[in-house]
Amino acid sequence: MNPMNPKNLKNMLITGASRGIGAAIARAAGSAGYRVGVNYQRSEAAAQKVVADIHAAGGEAVALQADVSRLSEVVRLFSEMDRSLGTLDVLINNAGILASFRVDALDEEQLGAVFQANVFSSFYAAREAVRRMSTAHGGHGGSIVNLSSVASRMGGLSGGAAYAASKAAIDTFTLALAKEVGREGIRVNALRPGLISTEIHQVHGGLDRMHSMAAEVVPLGRAGAAEEVAQAALWLASDAASYVHGTVMDVAGGR
């Protein structure tokens, strides 16, 4: 038995977990018995609130600061996760940003920021996770769940070409990584959320506009909740999904 983990609970690291879908996954994971690493970049108070909620519900969690768009910070993040909670079992690549700008108006800094946050971060975190989980590296296996978006197959909203393209990269990355590490004990899957009620939509006119749009275009007639995405993420990460691999699963109300 691991002396750092006397209950032998599984450890999950969630990037970008201080709010929105990441926070919902963290709280659900804590309730499900995971020991949770709650990564944040700037919002320390929000991350500590997620940790406090998990503790209040009887779970274990720690807040871990890092800008996951930078490889050196991802290396530090995983080292801190190792020291704080021990062996990694599940990585949720959730960190990312929404952006709204036309292609004919973009500049290098804008485009770079989107891909660094949405794509590079997932590559960097997956690198560190595979180095710990893979049986080829002496690990005991694990699960990686990447967060994509239905924008990857629909092109996104007006001004959302960069965001949509970055999420399409995550879809392909998921399939490619699954082929690389499936025989090394690691399952890799992705979720494609649709219109989910989180504050990320402020860049496209706010929640009221998003809910109005959802009522019109989503077959279920409503936006989704972050908690609904969280339950799908926990299922993909769990042994209940033991033969689900290389899959990109929509959580989009039929859209």
pLDDT digits (tens, 9 = 90+) for 132-163: 999 999 999 999 999 999 999 999 888 999 99
Task: Provide the 8-state DSSP code for 225.
Answer: P
* Sign of torsion over alpha carbons 123, 19, 205, 212: positive
Contact in structure between 143 and 161 (CB atoms under 8 Å):
no
Mean pLDDT for the chain?
95
**CA-based nearest residue to 51, from 32, 81, 30, 76:** 30
Q: Is position 5 within any domain?
A: no
Does the pTM surpass 0.85? The reply is yes
Calculate ∠ Cα 36-226-85, nearest 5°.
Answer: 5
Contact in structure between 91 and 139 (CB atoms under 8 Å):
no
User: Which residue range(s) make up the domain with 241?
Assistant: 11-251
- pLDDT greater than 60 at residue 18: yes
- pLDDT greater than 80 at residue 201: no
Q: Note if 163 is an active site residue.
A: yes
Q: How confident is the model at residue 58 (pLDDT cuts 50, 70, 90)?
A: very high
How far is 65 from 114, CA to CA, in rounded Å?
20
pLDDT-wise least confident of 23-32, 43-52, 152-161: 152-161
How far is 44 from 142, CA to CA, in rounded Å?
28
Q: Is position 2 within any domain?
A: no
- Provide the 3-class DSSP secondary structure of residue 162: helix
What Å distances lie between residue 98 and 68, 70, 77, CA to CA? 16, 18, 23
Looking at the structure of the chain, the number of domains it has is 1
- The CATH number of the domain holding residue 178 is 3.40.50.720
Token pair of 121 as six digits: 């971060």
- pLDDT greater than 90 at residue 173: yes
Q: Is position 6 within any domain?
A: no
pLDDT value at residue 8 = 76
Contact in structure between 190 and 171 (CB atoms under 8 Å):
yes
Q: Is position 42 within any domain?
A: yes
Q: Is position 1 within any domain?
A: no
Q: Is position 95 within any domain?
A: yes
- For 61-77, write each residue's pLDDT tens digit: 999 999 999 999 999 99
Token pair of 25 as six digits: 């996954």
* Span 154-180, average pLDDT: 96
How far is 185 from 141, CA to CA, in rounded Å?
4
pLDDT value at residue 3 = 58
pLDDT value at residue 205 = 61
Find the catalytic residue in 34, 40, 163, 243.
Answer: 163
Q: Is position 195 within any domain?
A: yes
Q: How confident is the model at residue 59 (pLDDT cuts 50, 70, 90)?
A: very high
Strand partners, 59: none
- pLDDT greater than 60 at residue 29: yes
- pLDDT greater than 70 at residue 1: no
Q: Is position 48 within any domain?
A: yes
The terminus-to-terminus CA distance of the chain in angstroms comes to 45
pLDDT value at residue 2 = 64
